[in-house]
Structure 1
Amino acid sequence: MKKLAIVAGTLLVLFFVITQPGSSAALVHNILGMLRDAAESLITFVSNVFQA
């Protein structure tokens, strides 16, 4: 069952990338931007904790 879910998810992602490449690229760009912002926030937090 788990393997079937993984295959179905992969096929869905491939379908989305093939049919709407611009939207897919924008989505990936937004996700990477959010991850970068989260990492920067975490770095700022840790820096402030150890400067005290």
Structure 2
Amino acid sequence: MRKFLILLAVALGIFLVVTAPQAAAGSVQNVGNILYNAAQSVSTFVTSLV
């Protein structure tokens, strides 16, 4: 079941990139920004502990 879900997610990702590359790029950029902001927040927290 897990393999099937992973394969389905990959197929959906490829489909989105092929059919709507601008929207897919925007989504990846948004996820990247979220991860960057989270890492920056954790870094600020750890720095303030020292």
Fold match, TM over 0.5? yes
**What's the CA shift for 1:44?**
0.5
* TM-score (ref. length: structure 1): 0.86
Structure 2 stretches lacking a partner, 5+ long: none
Distance 1:5 1:34 in 2: 24
How do residues 1-52 of structure 1 correspond to structure 2 at under 5 angstroms? 1-50=1-50
Distance 2:26 2:19 in 1: 14
Could you list the runs of 4 or more consecutive aligned residues of structure 1 that deviate by over 2 angstroms after TM superposition?
none
* TM-score (ref. length: structure 2): 0.89
**What are the superposed Cα offsets for residues 1-49 of structure 1, whole Å, 9 maximum, x if unpaired?**
2222211111111101110000000010111011111111111000001
Identity over the aligned pairs, expressed in percent?
36
Count of aligned positions? 50
CA RMSD of aligned residues (A): 0.9
Structure of larger gyration radius: 1
